[in-house]
Amino acid sequence: MARSLLKSTSVVSGLTLASRILGLVREITLARAFGAGPLLDAFFIALMLPNLGRRIFAEGAFSQAFVPVFTETRSQQTHEDVRELTAVVMGTLGAILGLVTVIGCFCAPLMVWAFAPGFRSDPAQAALGAELLRWTFPYLMFISLTSMAGSILNSYGQFAVPAAAPVILNVCIIASAWISADSVMVLAYAVFVAGVLQLLSQLPSLMRLRLLPRPRFRPRDPRVRRIGKLMLPVVIGSSVAQVSLLLNTSLATLIADGAVSWLNFGSRLMEFPTGIFAIAVGTVILPSLASHHTERSPEQFSDTLDWGLRMMLVLGLPFGVALVVLGGPLTAAIFGHGQFDAHDVEMTTWVVWAYGFGFMGFALVKVLVPGFYARQETRLPVRFATIGLAAGMLLSLASFITARSLKIEGAHVGLALSTSLTAWVNTVLLYRRLRSDGIYRPAPGWRRFGLRLLAANGLMAAVAIYGAGELAEWTALDALARALRLAAVIAACGAVYFLSLWVLGLRPRHLLMARGRGAGQV
């Protein structure tokens, strides 16, 4: 089991790595061309709103509710039943998203007024944001249907095509920025085109599985109603979680021109490693967990969670350490070019530090949440997400009010810290509940495993601190010198980390063992 999961994770991670690298190239291109200012702030607002919908309908709710029901239908019924389920869900989802898209485009000025209050003082920027949103908002419908197709393919063990789809968006935006660096409107056009192409890229694989029937709108179908019932609490939970991002972005528009961009670029550096392995591990284990639950195999269910947590810690902790210690060098080397000046580098570095403290919280949620959704338990994650959100929102408002009243520079950093706090609160609550319910039972050897990770990350941090130096040193270097120095520091850190794990006795085979065959005896 673990070997096949590791293989699937490697496929997803490799393709996601390609997408994330292109994503970084995209952000570098945007930073160089536009800098952190009102134009790019308007584009990020226009892209954020459909992305929030995507996370709620596609990644946050629909896929988590659809995969267990689809897996159950596939394992217990005929292929024709699977085709029928696909047809009615695709038709119903498509009709609902189409209506939402029309409403969103029509109400674009109102949404910009509501979610970007800082734009109200500049009618030109508000008008630009609304026009951008009319082109980016349809992306919600296209990417949600793409997510459904990807969920079906994942259930059949086909992870490559869905994982490759995000590459299309990055390529389209990069190409558009090169075509015209004078107007951000071309970026919005690129988002629209990318949504269409991402959906089309999934269809050949569905055709080969004979799972591309004529969509039918049947909201009263019992299976659709069941998925809807499972989705409802997840939609609420996902919506609650996205309120934090909405609040932080809205507050950022009131702080300064560029604050939205600083937060965006900082989050990209945090999301880069998350996308490489965290999302990949979570994507791969969900169908397996759903299958183990359907087959009533609690031991294998727990083993899969244990494997996911170990993999997440081995791969994730060094990235979290690097974001905190090397936040400045990373920002200077990656974004500090063209219109992105030294002040932008410093402001974004502070954001990277704040996200670095919450990095493992973001990563571990990707493993823990599937432990609930695979069992079709959706209410508890909603409750825990709400509690985490409340803590984060309180910190956001407190830090914003304090910074504004005392005129403290860097008020946007408190917004990033609040997001990290939200992730950690959610992680702790999810983990405690899985343990208390007996769903997850850690395999033996966690203490020794943890000590090895702690020692290896400590040694790596010492090397990173030595190589980081002062931020002024990095901004004084040219682009090539920054890249070469950063590559040398990262290579040294990686070598020290993995060599330390090897010397301390951790071997790749330890992560492949299942319970009863020496799991955790590392």
**DSSP 8-state code for residue 182:** S
Which residues does 308 contact at the CB level (< 8 Å), separation at least 6? 281, 282, 285, 367, 370
| Paired tokens of 490 | 């990262």
Which residues does 117 contact at the CB level (< 8 Å), separation at least 6? 250, 253, 254
The per-residue pLDDT for range 207-252, each reduced to its tens digit, is 888 888 888 888 888 888 888 777 776 666 556 556 777 788 888 8
- pLDDT at 518 > cutoff 50: no
The per-residue pLDDT for range 112-129, each reduced to its tens digit, is 998 888 888 888 889 999
In terms of residues, how long is the chain? 522
The per-residue pLDDT for range 389-402, each reduced to its tens digit, is 889 888 888 888 88
The per-residue pLDDT for range 9-24, each reduced to its tens digit, is 566 666 667 777 888 8
Question: CB of 447 within 8 A of CB of 476?
Answer: no
The per-residue pLDDT for range 257-313, each reduced to its tens digit, is 888 889 988 888 887 777 666 766 777 777 778 777 777 778 888 888 888 888 889
Question: CB of 330 within 8 A of CB of 323?
Answer: yes
- pLDDT at 492 > cutoff 50: yes
Whole-number Å distance between alpha carbons of 122 and 339? 22
Whole-number Å distance between alpha carbons of 21 and 26? 9
**DSSP 8-state code for residue 409:** S
Q: Is 3 exposed, middle or buried (0-12, 13-18, 19+ CB in 10 A)?
A: exposed
Q: Is residue 270 part of a domain?
A: no
Whole-number Å distance between alpha carbons of 186 and 135? 10
Q: Is residue 377 part of a domain?
A: no
The per-residue pLDDT for range 304-325, each reduced to its tens digit, is 888 888 888 988 899 999 999 9
20 vs 464, more confident: 464
Q: What is the model's pLDDT at position 241? A: 56
Q: Is residue 425 part of a domain?
A: no
pTM beyond 0.85: the answer is no
Please spell the DSSP secondary structure of 76-143, one letter per residue.
Answer: HS-HHHHHHHHHHHHHHHHHHHHHHHHHHHHTHHHHHHHH-GGGGG-HHHHHHHHHHHHHHTTHHHHH
Which residues does 255 contact at the CB level (< 8 Å), separation at least 6? 118, 400, 411, 412
Which residues does 77 contact at the CB level (< 8 Å), separation at least 6? none
The per-residue pLDDT for range 343-369, each reduced to its tens digit, is 899 999 999 999 999 999 988 988 898
Q: What is the model's pLDDT at position 281? A: 75
Sign of the Cα pseudo-torsion (185, 190, 196, 198, in order): negative
Q: Is residue 350 part of a domain?
A: no
* Rg of the Cα atoms in the chain: 23
Q: Is residue 8 part of a domain?
A: no
Other beta carbons within 10 Å of 158: 18
| Paired tokens of 387 | 């509690």
Of 334, 189, 329, the residue nearest 265 (C-alpha): 334
Q: Is residue 418 part of a domain?
A: no
- C-alpha to C-alpha distances, 174 to 270, 449, 506, nearest whole angstrom: 20, 42, 41
Q: What is the model's pLDDT at position 230? A: 76
Per-residue pLDDT band for 517 (boundaries 50, 70, 90) equals very low
Q: Is residue 168 part of a domain?
A: yes
Residue 46's domain comprises 38-231
Angle, helices 479-503 vs 327-335, to 10°: value is 140
- C-alpha to C-alpha distances, 425 to 274, 299, 360, 420, 516, nearest whole angstrom: 18, 27, 12, 9, 32
Q: Is residue 90 part of a domain?
A: yes
Number of domains into which the chain is organized: 1
Which residues does 63 contact at the CB level (< 8 Å), separation at least 6? 147, 148, 150, 151
Q: Which helix (H) or strand (E) holds 483?
A: helix 479-503
